[in-house]
């Protein structure tokens, strides 16, 4: 499923027309290939604060080359700035002093990360300065261009040693379609990271449940978690059993077919995971449906009750399953729960009151449980924007083109972009990443 517009503007005549007519000219995004280095180039490190001295060593642990003495004549694949030391609004000029000389020295598809202190944990001028970082990074994300991304990572005091997995994700092509995001590390009490023996297979020995796993985004989630070492248990409806079994056999995984809205579904899932795998380490609630119609035309006596059905599949079922797995102790220590929300749950969408409510509810589930979980278990969500799938390929051409261009990268994402974000959440190195909602949307112009 290629982007025909992007293919066209990459051609000689298309490039000429795009330049002269002021049309978007999206850069082909670099994505991670198994076995490749996390960063193909050098990362320039700057700033002053709690992490400045340790950053080169952390990056070296990930196999990422870095320098603290950046020469604008060099080329850089990434920039990391420690802004935790900014304690007043006057200090914000340090951002300009570091970034402005280096922005023209960036390679294609560069990664920029700013590290800060959670504003809610400080007061006075420091709180002002730290909150200002959000406006800076989101604006820079819309300026950097050439397939570049910009993120802000708020690191709680004491969580400095837990940033490794997040830096590895945000500085690598794994985060190709993630930009303009704010990530919090250590915001819900846990400030330490679990041990990762092999950063190329961080999920080795882990068991991952993926619902809606037979195709589309779910299939890519299963593939990426398997790549990272997990034994995948794919779950889908009985109608998808054939495709599900073929995929799980390919991945040396396990499968379970049932309707997640069934009254005994949570108990059946818990029993299967306990009896066959001794529990589960990663739970990904990916299964979902859309039944679009404007609310005025969505009466309760409609065939299938569009509103109630979408809420039941997308929200009530994941909530029931999560609470049952927690109640039975099926989720192992330091386990990870990930919900698949949507940009629609943040910005809303015409004809999707049911879908947007369900996806906002997934975010609500994250908010509800983030402070309640124990044993090192985390809960986070991804909120995809326009992701190119078989389903979006059926959208009318004009609508599809507008949907793909309304972001800082002027293109749609791929299912693997969602999967890579989930794999980052699932890593044992991300145990201090809890209660986050990260949009995988190329930094959409709406719903920021």
Question: CA-to-CA distance for 312 and 320, rounded, in angstroms?
Answer: 10
Active site residue 32: no
**Alpha carbon distance 279, 273 (integer Å):** 5
| Burial classification of residue 12, based on how many CB atoms lie within 10 Å of its CB (0-12 exposed, 13-18 middle, 19 or more buried) | exposed
Report the distance separating Cα 170 and Cα 167, nearest Å: 5
- Catalytic-role residue among 32, 177, 355, 425: 355
Closest CA to 248 of 216, 210, 274: 210
The residues annotated as belonging to the active site are: 355
């Amino acid at each position: 499923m290629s982007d025909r517009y992007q293919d066209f503007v990459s051609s000689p005549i298309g490039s000429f027309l795009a330049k002269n007519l002021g049309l978007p000219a999206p850069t082909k995004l670099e994505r991670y290939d198994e076995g490749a280095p996390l960063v193909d180039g050098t990362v320039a490190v700057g700033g002053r604060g709690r992490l400045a001295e340790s950053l080169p060593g952390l990056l070296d642990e990930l196999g990422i080359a870095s320098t603290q003495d950046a020469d604008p004549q060099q080329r850089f694949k990434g920039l990391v700035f420690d802004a935790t030391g900014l304690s007043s609004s006057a200090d914000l000029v340090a951002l300009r002093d570091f970034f402005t000389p280096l922005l023209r020295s960036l390679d294609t598809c560069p990664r920029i990360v700013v590290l800060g202190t959670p504003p809610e944990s400080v007061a006075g001028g420091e709180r002002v300065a730290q909150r200002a970082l959000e406006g800076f990074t989101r604006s820079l994300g819309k300026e950097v261009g050439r397939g570049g991304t910009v993120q802000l990572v708020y690191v709680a005091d004491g969580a400095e040693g837990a940033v490794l997995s997040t830096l590895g994700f945000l500085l690598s092509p794994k985060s190709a379609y993630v930009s303009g995001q704010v990530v919090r590390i250590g915001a819900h009490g846990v400030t330490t990271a679990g041990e990762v023996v092999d950063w190329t297979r961080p999920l080795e020995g882990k068991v991952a449940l993926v619902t809606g796993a037979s195709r589309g985004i779910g299939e890519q989630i299963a593939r990426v978690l398997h790549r990272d070492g997990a034994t995948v248990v794919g779950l889908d409806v009985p109608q998808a059993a054939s495709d599900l079994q073929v995929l799980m056999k390919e991945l040396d995984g396990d499968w379970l077919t049932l309707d997640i809205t069934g009254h005994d579904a949570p108990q059946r899932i818990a029993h299967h995971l306990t009896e066959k795998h001794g529990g589960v380490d990663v739970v990904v609630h990916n299964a979902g449906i859309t039944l679009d119609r404007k609310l005025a035309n969505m009466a309760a006596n409609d065939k299938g009750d569009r509103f109630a059905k979408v809420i039941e599949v997308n929200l009530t079922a994941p909530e029931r399953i999560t609470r049952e797995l927690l109640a039975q102790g099926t989720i192992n220590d330091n386990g990870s729960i990930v919900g698949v929300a949507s940009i629609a749950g943040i910005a809303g969408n015409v004809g999707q009151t049911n879908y947007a409510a369900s996806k906002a509810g997934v975010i609500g589930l994250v908010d509800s449980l983030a402070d309640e979980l124990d044993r090192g278990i985390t809960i986070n969500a991804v909120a995809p924007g326009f992701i190119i799938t078989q389903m979006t390929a059926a959208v009318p051409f004009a609508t599809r083109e507008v949907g793909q261009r309304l972001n800082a990268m002027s293109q749609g994402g791929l299912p693997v972009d969602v999967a890579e974000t989930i794999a980052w959440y699932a890593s044992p190195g991300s145990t201090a990443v809890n209660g986050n909602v990260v949009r995988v949307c190329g930094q959409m112009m709406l719903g920021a």
